[in-house]
A = this chain, B = another copy of it.
Amino acid sequence: MHVKITDVAEKAGVSIATVSLALNGNEKINIRTRRHVAAVAKEMGYRPNPSAKRLASRKSRQIGLVLPDIENIYYAALAQDTLNELRMSDYALIISSSMNSRQMERRIVSDMIGNQVEGLMIAPVEKPNDNIEYLDALNDAGIPYVFVTASYPDLEHPCVMCDLYGGMKQLLTRLYDRGLRRMALLSGAQNVHCFDLRDGAFMDFCAEKGLEGCRVYHLDGIRYDDSFNHVQSMALEGLDGILCVNDMMALGAINALKARSLRVPEDIAVAGYDDSIFSRISPVPITTVRQDVRRMAVSAASWMLDCVRGNAPDPENLRLIPCEVQLRRSTER
């Protein structure tokens, strides 16, 4: 609609090919010509038409990011960090959120393919194996993808996630050292990867230490109310600690315990996961496991960039970001 490459070419006294090459920093063009063209282009306020560029080069210069829920602070942080990481590249990020619906997720992936993204970063809603359907479509279209916050050991595809299993193990070790012996884990649905990993760590640890009376509760939801309601009515006898798969749930547990006139941490310890704002705004600061979302995002984004740029792919297909325990008052005995 505005000044185009022919205008720049005319004004600079060169051909459009030269303008194109010069503006793209092609070494074959004399450095002086390059500078001259750049100056003219700038002066004229020339902005290459992205659609024409994409069409001619057969490259969309777009990367998609599919999130389960952008209103979840954890994924929002992932989005922001990915945005930042890609900002310096010449790729644009298209963000979408499936509202935790697998069906919506499929539609989004399909739309992304239709939109011809060059690569896709996916934080899947649920179980690994449910994605197979759209992975075929992705493979057919030749679109590289990397999974974030998920790992698919069987798949030969990049996965980046925080070491949930290791983080839970570390947390348990610290709590064990502090004398806790009978703990309950408030987790989410079974067969959901991010919960399974922590459930597994919990059970493995209890088995290793020969702890009796520890148990895992699979709640339907993982929000504040879900844990609040559960803790309000659960059997607490003999329990000395309640662990939750996120901080908001830990806060729910604390408030429910308070409602039952139990003190945290004196009567019972509580721990969360993520090190989100909720662990800090609690009346009793909550011990939690810090996930380094930024590092995960940076790792995933740069891997994605390597993929779309055809750089030597990582020999590994899983990048595990270590977690770190944050001991706070909710577990002091």
Contacts and interface: CB of A to CB of B under 8 A. Distances in A.
A112 to B, nearest CB: 10
- The SS class assigned to the A binding surface is helix
Interface in A45-88: 47, 49-52, 54-55, 58, 60, 69-71, 73, 76-77, 79-80, 83-84
A51 B116 contact: yes
A5 B60 CA distance: 19
Interface in A222-245: 224
Nearest to A45: B140
Given A83-B96, A92-B115, A70 B70 contact: yes
A132 interface: no
Interface residues of A, number: 44
A310 interface: no
Interface stretch (A21-29, A177-185, A274-282, A311-319): A274-282
A94 B94 contact: yes
Contacts of A95: 79, 95
A113 B49 CA distance: 11
A248 interface: yes
B70 A97 contact: no
Nearest to A252: B281
Given A83-B96, A251-B281, A114 B224 contact: no
A318 to B, nearest CB: 27
A187 interface: no
Interface of A: 1-2, 47, 49-52, 54-55, 58, 60, 69-71, 73, 76-77, 79-80, 83-84, 92, 94-97, 99, 113-116, 141-142, 224, 248, 251-252, 255, 258, 277-278, 280-281, 283
Q: Which 6 A-B pairs have the closest CB atoms?
A: A51-B54, A51-B55, A71-B76, A95-B95, A76-B76, A51-B51
